[in-house]
A and B are shown apart, each in its own frame.
Chain A
């Protein structure tokens, strides 16, 4: 069983090698003449004035919470979906109930304005 996963392991190592080699091997041919202005972070030609912002807008945070909720709910679909072919109508009905509850939560988030994108 685990032998099926061995090629994936090989593939991962090879992909890492390709990626690292692409960046490292370029070092043999590319020039390197750093200076202070060239190395400064890009800011439309001006001198950088502030550090990186430490605060982000709230919608990003809200969005990641929503994603977490829905992703965990999607997880329940995976075991169910494998047995869907063999299950009776009761299996489907109970999933419909679950989907209904999910949908109620979704409507709640909608009505609360969590899905709006505003600042």
Chain B
């Protein structure tokens, strides 16, 4: 009981600190990619910048616009934050000394359910601000999130087919037992999961929600001060969540790279939690990299990509996994088949994307 509460408090604190420093890393990396320094003034290389930002946001006036439903207006960011944080209760961070608050046997289902409830915060916030931009942004956001939820869930069906359980720790155990990570067996599902994960978190190039050019700031146009920063925290928590799911389902969780190769066993010295954090860090870097590189796509292109490309591709992935299971194809040949299918699908999609 006490231990549970301690662990929960610790987890929430770690998450909030990590989120604060992701914002620092994001500004630093974006700066470097645009050949400038990023934050440098507050602390050594701007390391105290997140704290300064926090103080600044806390001392900003919180404006509730006239005609807004003030209770809903203030509870909306809280709802989004809660459902962005709660899934971390079932995510295992390491196996040998277990770093997990609770191992529920429906872990993945719980994560999907809780994270899609976060959408309510966005709808409530957008509707209750009594602003046209907010309402339009909320509508777009929800349309985008429900469109990409279909391929996202179907992409996660693939790993579950091979592990036979929704429990996140059993997912890693299955990859340990099989000796290969699921990314090699189903790169197709991995690519689809990455794309729809970026779309689910409303990040560039799918940040249609806050397209500044047309919608000012989307659903949080009217939010200021701490209410805004709570929305902000929720967005970054969602990014970590998507990275964690990708790591657990496709990249073997806390295993070292090449877990079956004997002569690399000196890598076992590094604790499992470090491997897990490194993999999550890789995905977070990918998010920032995308933001620095890609322009925003148009809304009809977004729908086109979600419904007409990702959905059939991900059904093909389920079919391929079934073939692998029942026709005992040699592993190497199967690797080649999935690899070339993925390359073919990506090539076909990128060729037809702008038509």
Contacts and interface: CB of A to CB of B under 8 A. Distances in A.
A39 B58 CA distance: 19
A52 B63 CA distance: 19
Closest 4 A/B residue pairs (Cβ):
A19-B78, A85-B164, A117-B300, A26-B226
A81 B146 contact: no
Contacts, number: 190
Interface in A10-47: 10-12, 14-16, 18-20, 22-23, 25-27, 29-34, 36, 38-44
Given A8-B90, A18-B85, 7 more contacts: A15-B82, A22-B230, A26-B225, A39-B66, A66-B307, A99-B318, A115-B307
Interface residues of B, number: 81
Interface of B: 4-5, 7-9, 11-12, 16, 57-68, 74, 77-78, 81-82, 85-86, 88-90, 101-105, 109-110, 129-133, 135, 139, 143, 146-147, 149-150, 153-154, 157, 160-162, 164-166, 216, 221-222, 225-227, 229-230, 233, 299-300, 303-304, 307-308, 311-312, 315, 318-319, 322, 325-326
Contacts of B222: 41-42
A16 B78 CA distance: 7
Contact of A78 (B109, B130, B225): B109
Interface string A96-119: 100100110010001000011110
A85 B74 CA distance: 47
A70 B150 contact: yes
Contacts of A11: 8, 11-12, 85-86, 88-89, 101
**For chain B, what secondary structure do more than half of its interface residues adopt (helix, strand, loop), or is it mixed?**
helix
B164 A84 contact: yes
Nearest to A66: B307
Contacts of B303: 63, 115, 117
